[in-house]
Structure 1
Amino acid sequence: MKKLAIATIPGDGIGKEVVPAATKVLEAAAEVHGGLSFEFTDFPYSCEYYLQHGVMIPNEGMKRLQNFDALFLGAVGNPEIVPDHVSLWGLLIKLRREFEQVINLRPAKLLPGIQSPLANPKDFDLMVVRENSEGEYSEVGGRMYRGNDEIAIQNSVFSRRGTERAMDYAFNLASKRKKHVTSATKSNGIFYAMPFWDEVFNDVAKGYPDIKSDSQHIDALASFFVTRPERFDVIVASNLFGDILTDIGAGIMGSVGVAPAANINVNGKYPSMFEPVHGSAPDIVGKGIANPLGQIWTAKMMLDYFEEEELGKLLLDVIEGTTESGMLTPDLGGNSSTEEVTDEIVRRLRERV
């Protein structure tokens, strides 16, 4: 029996609704597998925790979390009680940085039964590999002076090691897919960092002669995500560019509530973390209508990470069967509840036993 210890961090808002939904699905998936089990341990780290303790997560919490096989996060943020830059840097980004989760993966795929806002989406199926540890989201910079003379400086940081790591990951992933990697750049406008990015991409591409590669400026690439998303396979992007592209990817799927993500530790020293792209959605908390698909698809990515690809494929097939049947939450134009969608996925999984 393969037993996996998972730290669940529901976090804020609808995270407390969709994480239990997804763990219910994972337990059903383990039943289908027969040789797999999950042990879930819940942690309260959230904005409410911050109000009580003055930190989003204590040092002893970080020490406990590092002993788990993976982290399963719901959502972070409640700007009405804690500023976003405090909550995100105090929990989400802290986990990513201190646990060396240097790769962020976010797929975008047209699911049957979901109406894309695109007139002709043509069954796109792409994966964005986002460098997750540096780039534009560095902590290098500062502020000086006050009033009309105030200055804010934010420095981007690109290392060859970090850039190559993300690009190697993208090429290896493409070798298992449609064998095409696109680099997101802006070397015609960002004078130092992006020409460096291009040079490293060209160097890395030489090591993968069987993989087609090309580069696109981020503004044009964002446009192509809307007009021709079917042309892409794997896109490798910096921290900021990847963040923006994947929200576009979520948008063309029909709702940010569908989009999953994974933060991958590649050296094995710390656990990886799996979280949906959507936020805490305080406007729908407690209404029972939060879309669980992003968190459940994120669970599929976690299964893939644990080399349970066959079970992960089965789960995605079941998700697609559920959406195709028309059982959708209101954000997707349906009238099903969080519980109804979850129970339908569980039912379809158990039918496979």
Structure 2
Amino acid sequence: MRNYKIAVIPGDGIGTEVLAAGIDVLHALARNGDFAISPQQLPWSSDQYLHLGHYIPDGGLERLKTFDAIFFGAVGSEKVPDHVSLWGLRLPICQGFDQYANVRPARVLPGVTSPLTNGKDIDWVVIRENSEGEYAGNGGRVHRGLPIEVATETSVFTRRGVERIHRFSFELARKRPRKHLTLVTKSNAQRHGMVMWDEIFYEVAKEYPDVTTRRELVDAMTTRMVLKPATIDVMVATNLHADILSDLAAALSGSLGIAPTANLNPEREFPSMFEPIHGSAFDIAGKGIANPIATFWTAAMMLEHLGEAKAAARLMKAIETVTAAKVHTPDLGGTATTKQVTQAVIAAL
């Protein structure tokens, strides 16, 4: 029997609640399958940071390398500045394990209502370059507190980094029925890095004549997502642009509570990390009403990455059965609790 060793990092806020639900569902799925999961929880969180002064302990990344995948909840605390928590936990894993392809599917699940009248046309995949760009961390501050204080934040685009995310995007678009890929850019204003981003896209495009392409400025892309969702299939964008667009995609699909993410190292030199995109959600943490659907969909993406496509499909079918039955948490207009949605998905399995 195949046994997958999963590092579980619940993190902060509702991350602890939804990841516990996700593990319950994975165990239920494995009981009726021909594989097993061995989850190991790591207490890397803002509480640990406040107590010990670090998110990831010495040797933490080396320890993570021994796992088949990483299941991540959320990071962020009202007691810790956001840039400290993000750079203390999530980004060291993504960048340290070269998880350069961030994949975020978006579609309106059965029984879920989109705020758009044409929301049924949403069937997208947002691909985010996840290792460099605007989140490279290149920059600094000098003369702090003085009138001449200066802060710089420099986007970094490398030919290797840009080429590989474009090639990944073309490969994914080629596997989908429409075979359509939108290049999201801002090269009219950012004339160096973004112009190179565009040029490399069209160089790679020559290798994929079966994929139809479109170029769209990022500001125009937001309006296209709202007004003409049927014209979009797969989109590829930089670290910052795709971060923003994928949250919009989730909201247009009904809720951030249903949106999954995979942080992939496609070459499988390191374990990949799978996380729902909703964040730690301080306002509802501890109330038992966090939507676990994003976590379950994320778990399905993890299973697919691990080679368990049949189990992933079973889980997605169970998710859609539950959403179609309108067993919804408050973010989707329902009254169900996290536990009730979890129980319903397990029953559907």
TM-score (norm 2): 0.97
CA displacement at 1:310 relative to structure 2? 2.4
| 1:76 paired to 2:72 | no
Instruction: Identify the residue that residue 217 of structure 1 maps to in structure 2.
Output: 217
State the one-letter code of the partner of 1:162: G
CA displacement at 1:268 relative to structure 2? 2.2
CA displacement at 1:123 relative to structure 2? 3.3
Instruction: Identify the residue that residue 311 of structure 1 maps to in structure 2.
Output: 311
Instruction: Identify the residue that residue 261 of structure 2 maps to in structure 1.
Output: 261
- Partners of 2:286 and 2:110 lie apart in 1 by 28
Does the Cα contact within 8 Å between 1:124 and 1:231 map onto a contact in 2? no
Instruction: Identify the residue that residue 64 of structure 1 maps to in structure 2.
Output: 63
SS of corresponding position for 1:283:
coil
Decide which moves more: 55-64 or 151-160. 55-64
Instruction: Identify the residue that residue 45 of structure 1 maps to in structure 2.
Output: 44
Instruction: Output aligned runs, 1:133-144, within 5 Å.
Output: 133-144=131-142
Does the Cα contact within 8 Å between 2:328 and 2:336 map onto a contact in 1? yes
Instruction: Identify the residue that residue 108 of structure 2 maps to in structure 1.
Output: 110
Q: What does the per-residue CA deviation read over 1:297-319, in whole Å, with 9 as the maximum and x for residues that have no partner?
A: 10011011112222212211211
Instruction: Identify the residue that residue 163 of structure 1 maps to in structure 2.
Output: 162
The unaligned stretches of length 5 or more in structure 2 are none
- Partners of 1:346 and 1:339 lie apart in 2 by 11
- Partners of 1:338 and 1:151 lie apart in 2 by 46
CA displacement at 1:124 relative to structure 2? 1.3
Instruction: Identify the residue that residue 181 of structure 1 maps to in structure 2.
Output: 181
- Partners of 2:181 and 2:121 lie apart in 1 by 18
RMSD, aligned CA? 1.0
Q: What does the per-residue CA deviation read over 1:52-95, in whole Å, with 9 as the maximum and x for residues that have no partner?
A: 110111122222111100000001010x2111111110000011
- Partners of 1:179 and 1:277 lie apart in 2 by 26
- Partners of 2:239 and 2:259 lie apart in 1 by 17
State the one-letter code of the partner of 2:123: D
- Partners of 2:204 and 2:214 lie apart in 1 by 12
CA displacement at 1:148 relative to structure 2? 2.4
- Partners of 1:127 and 1:32 lie apart in 2 by 30
State the one-letter code of the partner of 2:100: V
State the one-letter code of the partner of 2:284: I
SS of corresponding position for 1:45:
coil
- Partners of 1:2 and 1:215 lie apart in 2 by 43
Instruction: Identify the residue that residue 129 of structure 1 maps to in structure 2.
Output: 127
- Partners of 1:189 and 1:174 lie apart in 2 by 27
- Partners of 1:240 and 1:72 lie apart in 2 by 23
The unaligned stretches of length 5 or more in structure 1 are none
CA displacement at 1:226 relative to structure 2? 1.2
Instruction: Identify the residue that residue 331 of structure 1 maps to in structure 2.
Output: 331
- Partners of 1:267 and 1:88 lie apart in 2 by 25
Does the Cα contact within 8 Å between 2:118 and 2:229 map onto a contact in 1? no
SS of corresponding position for 2:283:
helix
- Partners of 2:324 and 2:9 lie apart in 1 by 30
- Partners of 1:147 and 1:228 lie apart in 2 by 48
Instruction: Identify the residue that residue 245 of structure 2 maps to in structure 1.
Output: 245
Instruction: Output aligned runs, 1:268-347, within 5 Å.
Output: 268-347=268-347
The number of residues matched between the two structures is 347
CA displacement at 1:32 relative to structure 2? 2.7
- Partners of 1:10 and 1:36 lie apart in 2 by 23
- Partners of 1:191 and 1:296 lie apart in 2 by 41
Does the Cα contact within 8 Å between 1:73 and 1:274 map onto a contact in 2? yes
TM-score (norm 1): 0.96
State the one-letter code of the partner of 2:35: L
- Partners of 2:184 and 2:32 lie apart in 1 by 40
Decide which moves more: 278-287 or 128-137. 278-287
- Partners of 1:226 and 1:310 lie apart in 2 by 33
CA displacement at 1:16 relative to structure 2? 0.7
Decide which moves more: 271-280 or 311-320. 311-320
Instruction: Identify the residue that residue 148 of structure 1 maps to in structure 2.
Output: 147
CA displacement at 1:334 relative to structure 2? 0.2
Decide which moves more: 8-17 or 138-147. 138-147
State the one-letter code of the partner of 1:299: A
- Partners of 2:257 and 2:230 lie apart in 1 by 21
Instruction: Identify the residue that residue 2 of structure 1 maps to in structure 2.
Output: 2
Instruction: Identify the residue that residue 101 of structure 1 maps to in structure 2.
Output: 99
- Partners of 2:211 and 2:245 lie apart in 1 by 22
Q: What does the per-residue CA deviation read over 1:92-119, in whole Å, with 9 as the maximum and x for residues that have no partner?
A: 0011011111110001111111111112
